[in-house]
Amino acid sequence: MYRLDSWAWLLLETANMAALATLMGAGAAVLLAFPAARNLGAGRILCPAARRLLEAMRTVPEIVFALILVWAFGVGPLAGILAIALHTAGACGKLFAEAIENTGLGAWAGVRSAGGTWMQACRFAILPQVAPNLLSYALLRFEINLRSASVIGFVGAGGIGEELYKVIAFNYYEEISAILLLVILAVCAIDLLSERLRHRVIGAMA
Partner 1 sequence: MSAAPMSAADVAAWRARMPGAFGRDGRARALRLLGWAAFLLWLGWALWHFGFTPERLWNGLSGLATILRLMVPPSPGELWVDILQGLAESVAMAFLGTFIAALIAVPLGFLGAGNVVTNTLFRFSLRRVFDGFRGIDQLIWALAFVRAVGLGPLAGVLAIATADVAVLAKLNAEAIENAERRQVEGVTAAGGGFLARLRFGVLPQVLPVMLAQALYFFESNTRSAAILGVVGAGGIGLQISERIRVRHWDEVAFIILLMVATVAAIDWLSARLRRRMIGG
Would you tell me which residues interact with partner 1 (CB under 8 A)? 13, 16-17, 19-20, 23, 56, 59-61, 63-64, 67-69, 71-74, 76-79, 81-82, 147-148, 150-151, 154-155, 158, 164-165, 168-169, 171, 176, 180, 183-184, 187-188
Complex with partner 1: residue 11 or 79, whichever CB lies closer: 79
List C-alpha distances in Å: 59 to 54, 86, 88, 102, 146.
9, 11, 11, 24, 19
Contact (CB, 8 A) for 68 and 79: no
- In the bound complex, what is the minimum distance in angstroms from residue 72's beta carbon to partner 1? 4
Complex with partner 1: residue 116 or 176, whichever CB lies closer: 176
Complex with partner 1: residue 122 or 183, whichever CB lies closer: 183
- In the bound complex, what is the minimum distance in angstroms from residue 74's beta carbon to partner 1? 7
Contact (CB, 8 A) for 56 and 64: no
Complex with partner 1: residue 114 or 188, whichever CB lies closer: 188
- In the bound complex, what is the minimum distance in angstroms from residue 202's beta carbon to partner 1? 20
The per-residue b/e assignment along 60-89, b for 16 or more CB within 10 angstroms, e otherwise, is eebbebbbebbeebeeebbbbbbbbbbbbb
